[in-house]
C-alpha cells in the first residue's frame, strides 16, 4: 500500500500548482476532516463451532459461540481527512477530485462465549484506507451567504490488511493454535470500489473562503478475506463479510483562486 500512498501524495502535490494557475477563479482547493460512523457491514459473522482442539480436549467438549460483530462494534467512530480540488462549471454545478484517508485505532472487544460462560475476546488491528474519488455537486444558490448543496461521488480505495487475535482470559491454547490465533490474517485488504451521496451547507465567510458542513451515506465493497488460519478450524466463512456503509460528518474549508 505504500506505493499507492506515495502515488496519491504525488497527485495531491501536482494538483496544487495546477489549481493556482487556473484562470478566472474557476478552481478551488479544499481540506476537510471529521468523524465517520459505521452504519452497516460486519467485520465477521457469528458461527458456533467445536473448540475442543484448542485445548486438546475430547471432540465436542468445548462449545464456542461467536457473535456477529459490525464495524461499529469493532472500531466505533472512525476519522477521515481529505484534500479536494474543485472546478466550478456554472453557478450551480461543480466537479471535484479528492484524496481521502479513513482510519481507526485497533478494536478490542468480547466476540463470543466459550463453554457457555468464558469470554472469547478479539483484538483487531487498526483500520486504514486511502482513496481517490471524484464527483459532482449541485449548489442551490441564493442571495444569502448560506447555500445548501447535494453531491454524488464514486472512487477507489486501497484498504490495509486486518489481523485478529483471539483469546480467553487466563487460558493458553495448545500449540500450534496459540501462535496461530495471535495476529492471525483476517482480511488481505486491497482495492475496492466506493460510492455515495452527500448533502450539506456552505457558508461564505469571505470572497475567497467558504466553510461547509456535510454528511451523507457512503458504501464500499467487501475487502478480500484471508482464510489461511481460519480454514484450519473450519471457520473459513467467519470473515466472508468486510463491506462497509458509513455516514461522515465533516467540515470543509475551501480556498478559491
CA distances for 223 relative to 147, 191, 219, 251, angstroms: 37, 8, 12, 28
DSSP one-letter code for 168: B
Closest CA to 100 of 75, 133, 137, 77: 133
> Is the model more confident about 69 or about 14?
69
Cis bond leading into 176, ω under 30°? Answer: yes
Separation of alpha carbons 107 and 76, rounded Å: 8
Report the mean per-residue pLDDT for the chain.
Answer: 89
Q: Give the model's pLDDT for residue 71.
A: 96
The whole-number average pLDDT for the span 229-238 is: 87
Separation of alpha carbons 165 and 188, rounded Å: 15
Q: Which of 127-141, 181-195, 223-237 has the lowest mean pLDDT?
A: 223-237
Q: Give the model's pLDDT for residue 107.
A: 94
* Residue 207, Cβ density class (10 Å: 0-12 exposed, 13-18 middle, ≥19 buried): exposed
As given in the structure block, the three cell numbers for residue 88 are: 466550478
pLDDT (tens digit per residue) in 128-187: 999 999 999 999 988 889 999 999 999 999 999 999 999 999 999 998 999 999 999 999
As given in the structure block, the three cell numbers for residue 70 are: 459490525
Helix (H) or strand (E) holding 75: helix 71-75
The whole-number average pLDDT for the span 216-241 is: 92
Residue carrying C-alpha cell 450539506: 200
Count of H helices and E strands in the chain? 4, 16
User: Is residue 35 a contact partner of residue 248, using CB atoms and an 8 Å limit?
Assistant: yes
Q: Give the model's pLDDT for residue 8.
A: 45
pLDDT (tens digit per residue) in 71-126: 999 999 999 999 999 999 998 999 999 999 999 999 999 999 999 899 999 999 99
pLDDT at 6 over 80: no
Q: Give the model's pLDDT for residue 19.
A: 38
Q: Give the model's pLDDT for residue 253.
A: 97
Closest CA to 36 of 144, 226, 194, 232: 194
Give the 3-state secondary structure of residue 76: coil
Closest CA to 128 of 214, 2, 247, 249: 2
pLDDT at 17 over 70: no
Q: Give the model's pLDDT for residue 33.
A: 97
* Phi (first) and psi of residue 67, to 5 degrees: -95, 140
Q: Give the model's pLDDT for residue 234.
A: 82
Q: Which of 27-41, 48-62, 89-103 has the lowest mean pLDDT?
A: 48-62
Amino acid at each position: 500500500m505504500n506505493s499507492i500512498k506515495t502515488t496519491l501524495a504525488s497527485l495531491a502535490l501536482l494538483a496544487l500548482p495546477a489549481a493556482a494557475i487556473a484562470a478566472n477563479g474557476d478552481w478551488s482547493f479544499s481540506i476537510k476532516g471529521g468523524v465517520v460512523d459505521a452504519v452497516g457491514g460486519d467485520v465477521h459473522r457469528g458461527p458456533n463451532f467445536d473448540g475442543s482442539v484448542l485445548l486438546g480436549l475430547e471432540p465436542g467438549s468445548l462449545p464456542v459461540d461467536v457473535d456477529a460483530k459490525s464495524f461499529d462494534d469493532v472500531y466505533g467512530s472512525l476519522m477521515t481527512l481529505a484534500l479536494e480540488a474543485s472546478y466550478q462549471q456554472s453557478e450551480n454545478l461543480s466537479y471535484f477530485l479528492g484524496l481521502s484517508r479513513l482510519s481507526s485505532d485497533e478494536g478490542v472487544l468480547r466476540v463470543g462465549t466459550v463453554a457457555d460462560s468464558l469470554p472469547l475476546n478479539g483484538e483487531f488491528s487498526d483500520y486504514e484506507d486511502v482513496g481517490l474519488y471524484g464527483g459532482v455537486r449541485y449548489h442551490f444558490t441564493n442571495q444569502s451567504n448560506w447555500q445548501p448543496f447535494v453531491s454524488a461521488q464514486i472512487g477507489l480505495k486501497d484498504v490495509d490488511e486486518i489481523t485478529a487475535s483471539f483469546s480467553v482470559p487466563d487460558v493458553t491454547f495448545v500449540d500450534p493454535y496459540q501462535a496461530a490465533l495471535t495476529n492471525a490474517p483476517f482480511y488481505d485488504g486491497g482495492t475496492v470500489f466506493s460510492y455515495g451521496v452527500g448533502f450539506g451547507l456552505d457558508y461564505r465567510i469571505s470572497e475567497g473562503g467558504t466553510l461547509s458542513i456535510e454528511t451523507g451515506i457512503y458504501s464500499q465493497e467487501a475487502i478480500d478475506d484471508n482464510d489461511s488460519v481460519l480454514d484450519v478450524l473450519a471457520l473459513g466463512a467467519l470473515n466472508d463479510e468486510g463491506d462497509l456503509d458509513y455516514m461522515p460528518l465533516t467540515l470543509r474549508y475551501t480556498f478559491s483562486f
